[in-house]
Amino acid sequence: MNKLGRPLGKKVLIKPINLQCAVGLRILELRKERKLKQYDFEKIGIAAKVISSFENGPASCGLYRLSKIIKCMNVSFEEFFNHPNFKNLE
């Protein structure tokens, strides 16, 4: 189990409770799909510990940094946000 109580190496569907959580989970999911490490984002000026704080909380990701992260992962805003994480948020 990791520090969030998630089983290691298994996909677990977690329902995000708000937009901040949904964004963090989506960053984590796309980063793992693309086999990127958190430190890979340092080349665009975002430290690994910042990526970690977006993925695991408590930090929220501003639009400027989010756009850099999305571009680094080579996805569009539409692809990023067109995901079940963003459906039915409270």
Mean pLDDT, the chain, whole residue set: 84
Q: Give the mean pLDDT of 62-73.
A: 94
Tokens 């980063």 correspond to 31
Q: Give the mean pLDDT of 6-29.
A: 74
Tokens 């708000």 correspond to 18
Question: Percent of the chain, pLDDT > 70?
Answer: 81
Which tokens in the block code for residue 3? 């520090």
Q: Could you tell me which of 54, 45, 57 has the C-alpha nearest to residue 27?
A: 54
Amino acid identity, residue 18?
A: N
H-run or E-run covering 10:
none
Rounded-to-integer distance, Cα 25 and Cα 85, Å:
8
